[in-house]
Amino acid sequence: MGGLLVGLLFGDVQKGLELGVAFQLAYMGAFAVGGAVSIDVGVVSYPVMAIAIINGLDTGAALAIAAPISVLTANLTHVMRAFNTVCTGIVRKGIEEVDYKKIELGNVILPQAFLAAMNFAVVFVLMYLGTGAVDSLLAVVPQNVLHALGLLGGVLPAVGMAMLLKFNIVGNWMFIFFVLGFMMVSSMSMGFIPIAIFAAALAFLYWKIDSRPEVSAASASANVFTDDDEVEL
């Protein structure tokens, strides 16, 4: 959706969708564990995709630029959390005084306003200085370095997909769905929309079959032993 919106704003929907799919694949397996934030996808994705469209960068270069920036902007999360401790004090006073306006101010209004202002500042700086900065950087960086950055960006979607498969595949047999999708892209040269439609239909059929009452009853009865059952050792 981010790539679609950026593509609409800059008049290149196809490029926006290509960047959006690449960013989704690269970062879909990244999430915060125990409050530890390693990257900030939301702040970086939109401005980096916009910069890529403006400067005509390919997907690999866009991902390579986004990777270090995402790590740097993730540190702003700690600033937001420090500010939230102040908001917690306001909420505590509101609870003690039974003041619902203070509770709403400290729990909703101030944290969201601070987060919006902080993200806006980061995006504004990247957009305001990004085009010229990227042009200057590309002018001085050797071509072999840019090629290496492109290769690095091409690896990131594979890493994101591997992380997603690690946490989503609960049985070895489910890997067949990934193989089927890979075959549809590489061998059959199908686009994302037909594959998405086929995947949705396949997921619906799998859900219907798995949720049938007779299947549940059969699974339950298979685990029940009666006096007439013989147990083989």
pLDDT reported for residue 110: 92
pLDDT reported for residue 132: 56
Q: Which residues are paired to 171 by β-bridges?
A: none
Question: Residue range 56-79: average pLDDT?
Answer: 72
- C-alpha to C-alpha distance for 151 and 132, rounded to whole angstroms: 24
- C-alpha to C-alpha distance for 16 and 3, rounded to whole angstroms: 4
- C-alpha to C-alpha distance for 151 and 59, rounded to whole angstroms: 10
In the chain, count H helices and then E strands: 11, 0
Looking at residue 173, the DSSP 8-state letter turns out to be G
CB atoms within 10 A of CB 66: 27
Q: Is the pLDDT of residue 119 over 80?
A: no
Question: Residue range 94-116: average pLDDT?
Answer: 90
Distances from the Cα of 88 to the Cα of 79, 85, 104, 112, 113, angstroms:
14, 5, 11, 13, 15
CB atoms within 10 A of CB 92: 13
pLDDT tens readout for residues 136-176: 655 666 777 656 655 665 565 666 677 777 777 777 777 78
pLDDT interval class at 233 (50, 70, 90): very low
pLDDT interval class at 34 (50, 70, 90): very low
Q: Is the pLDDT of residue 30 over 70?
A: no
Residue with the bigger pLDDT between 36 and 1: it is: 1
Question: Residue range 58-84: average pLDDT?
Answer: 73
pLDDT tens readout for residues 203-213: 898 888 877 77
pLDDT reported for residue 202: 87
